[in-house]
Structures are given as structure tokens and as C-alpha cells.
Amino acid sequence: MRGKRRAPRPRIAWRSPWTPVVGALSVLAVGGILAVAALAKDVVLIVDGRPLAVRSFAGTVQELLGDQGVAVSTGDSVRPAADEDVVDGDRIVVRHARPFTLTVDGRTMHRLVTATNVREALAEFDIRVAGGRMSAPPGRHVPLSGMTLTYYSRRQVYVEADGVRLATRTTGRTVRQVLRQRRIPIRPGYQVQPPLDSFPAQGTVIKVSPPLPPHTVPVMPDVARLDWQALAQCESHGNPLAVNPAGPYYGMYQFSLPMWATVGGIGLPHSWSVEEQTYRAQLLYQRVGGRWQGQWPQCGMRLFGRPS
């Protein structure tokens, strides 16, 4: 008896002649993907303080910036440098330059800075903020369009009024502001040196003097020709503010208060200008008939060009 004919076995796909080819292509594709993935670098791009995570195939920093549409020009800061290679994990920092005008105690400077706030901009100018007064706070953002800032440092100046010298710390822009801070009134006819609208720099001495006494007595020509500068140098080293408590004696020519009043001086001698003190010294010389020994016993000979 003939048996039944057995049905053919189904074709097994992996035994297809194309199976090795497909497998090889798959391996190549996966390897290619892995190789390409290995070329990609993850970096952080920080532009003017704003961070952005970037995956890039760029070889250099410049190529990466071009891919990201970040333009750089003269004055901009790029770290690492534009021609350096991009390394996986890099932090690439770009700061664009912006114009900055800074006025410090009346002196104005112009510069391109890459700072993104006022504090960093002052650091680029090598200026430390120490209790001064600024027209904008240190944390204020500096826009790309630029910024103008005014800064007044805290300075020590001196105010002389009514024969008293006061030391004061100030950020005032003018002599007038300093006097207002000290509540010193400017009465009609009073003189102020330096001028009220001038800038009071560190160490400035602001003198507030009553109205100048009239110069009604002329100085004789032969008296004016004497060496008054040499006398002042001997008496006080030429210092119009000198005070000797031993007398007391005041000013360039070391007046006593009675002698100062005798020649029409008002207030204290050392509160007046060099010219006013010299005029009163010349009047004193005339008043005593040239007998200088009573007023300047140690230095009077200097008037004639001879050391005492």
C-alpha cells in the first residue's frame, strides 16, 4: 500500500541566501550610528550670561558658534578661543562688547566692556566701589547698546569757617554740596575757596571767609619790594594755615591776634588768603616804622635777603 505523500517543509527565512547580507548591513548601520554618536559633543554655550545646552559635531569653537548663529566681532570675548577644538563637556563663554561711559569724580572715560552688570564693568575699569555714590546699583544690567554711569567716591575734605577746621567725609559733587551737608551757611559777601561749583577732591580745604576788609591804607613801594616770601618761609614754611599754640600765633607771618586787629584784620589770620595775610603784614611793618624786631625777632632779617 502506497503511503501518503509528505508535504514539503516551509522555507526557513534565516536560511535565505540574503540573510548574511542583511545581517552584515545591520551591523554596519549600527556601527555607523555608534561612530557618528561618538563624534557628537555635549557642551554648554553661555552667551552674555545665558546658558544653553548644545549637542554639536563642530570641530572648532568658531564652527560651533556659526552653527548656533552666534556672531562675534572686535572687542568680544570668546573662551576658549575661537580657533580651539571643541571638547565634550566644554563650557564656551561668549561676551559681546558694549560701549561704557564712566565718570569718576568728574573725570570721564570711554571704553568697550564685556561686563554684563555695573559691578563687573567697574572691575574692568579697575575701580573698587567702597562706599561711594553711583547713578545705578552694582547689579544693574549693562545692555548691548551701552551705558553711562557716574560715580563719586567717598573723600575726606576739610572746611574752615570762623577760624575752625572741620574734617568731613563726603560724596558731594561740588563745594556747595559739602557746605550744605555741614550746614554751613553762605552769608552775603562771604568768600568761598575753591569756588562753590568746583569739585572737592580728596584732601581739599574749603575756606569760608567773611567779607574782605577794605584796603584803605596803601603799601609803600619800598615795603612791597621786601622779600615777604622769605619771611613767610622762615616763620611758617610758607603755610597760610599754620597755627602755633605757644602764642598763639597764626598764618604765614605768625600774627598774634592783637597785632592782626591793629592792622585792620578781621577774624583769625589763618582763615584768610595769602594775599590778604601779606597785605596785613606789610601794613604792620609800616605801622611799626620798619622796626620788625618786635614782631619777627627770629626771621625779620629775611626781609632783606639775609638769614637771621
Q: For position 234, what pLDDT does the model report?
A: 96
pLDDT tens across 180-235, in order? 999 998 888 788 989 999 999 999 999 888 777 788 899 999 999 999 999 999 99
Query: Is position 117 within any domain?
Result: yes
Q: Are residues 107 and 148 in the same domain?
A: yes
Closest to 242 measured CA to CA, from 282, 272, 201 = 272
Confirm whether 203 is domain-assigned.
yes
We report the CATH number of the domain holding residue 117 as: 3.10.20.30
Are 231 and 282 contained in the same domain? Answer: yes
Please indicate, yes or no, if residue 15 is contained in any of the structural domains.
no
- The answer, yes or no, to whether residue 176 has pLDDT greater than 80, is yes
Both ends of the chain: CA-CA distance in Å?
A: 164
**Does residue 108 sit in the same domain as residue 181?**
no
Residue at a domain's end among 95, 130, 165 = 95
Residues 187, 255, single domain; the answer is no
* Boundary of a domain, candidates 209, 235, 251: 209
Domain boundary at 73, 95, 117, which?
95
- Number of structural domains, the chain? 4
Per-residue pLDDT of 109-159, as tens digits, reads 999 999 999 999 999 999 887 778 999 999 999 999 999 999 999 999 999
User: Are residues 104 and 90 part of one domain?
Assistant: no
Flag whether 77 is in a domain.
yes
Tell me, yes or no, whether 228 and 282 share the same domain: yes
Looking at the fold, whether 179 and 137 belong to one and the same domain comes out as no
Q: 288 and 226 share a domain?
A: yes
Q: How confident is the model at residue 282 (pLDDT cuts 50, 70, 90)?
A: very high
The answer to the question of residue 240 being in a domain is yes
Tell whether 159 is covered by a domain: yes
Per-residue model confidence (pLDDT) at position 190? 84
CA 235 to chain centre: 40
Mean pLDDT rounded to a whole number for the chain: 87
Mean pLDDT, range 60-86, rounded to an integer: 92
Contact 144, 98 (CB under 8 A): yes
Quick one: 292 and 237 in the same domain?
yes
Same domain, 182 and 231: no
For 307, which DSSP code? -
Q: Do 186 and 169 share a domain, yes or no?
A: yes
Are residues 166 and 182 located together in one domain of the fold? yes
Q: Does residue 69 lie within any of the structural domains?
A: yes
Is 251 among the domain residues?
A: yes
Question: Using CA atoms, how far apart are residues 62 and 48, in angstroms rounded to an integer?
Answer: 17
Q: What is the DSSP string of 151-218?
A: EE--EEEEEEETTEEEEEEE--SSHHHHHHHTT----TT-EEES-TTS---TT-EEEEEPPPPP--SP
For 164, left (φ over 0), alpha (ψ -120 to 50), or beta? Answer: beta
Rg (CA), the chain: 42
pLDDT above 50 for 85: yes
Q: Residue 126's domain spans which residues?
A: 98-152
Question: Does 25 have pLDDT greater than 70?
Answer: no
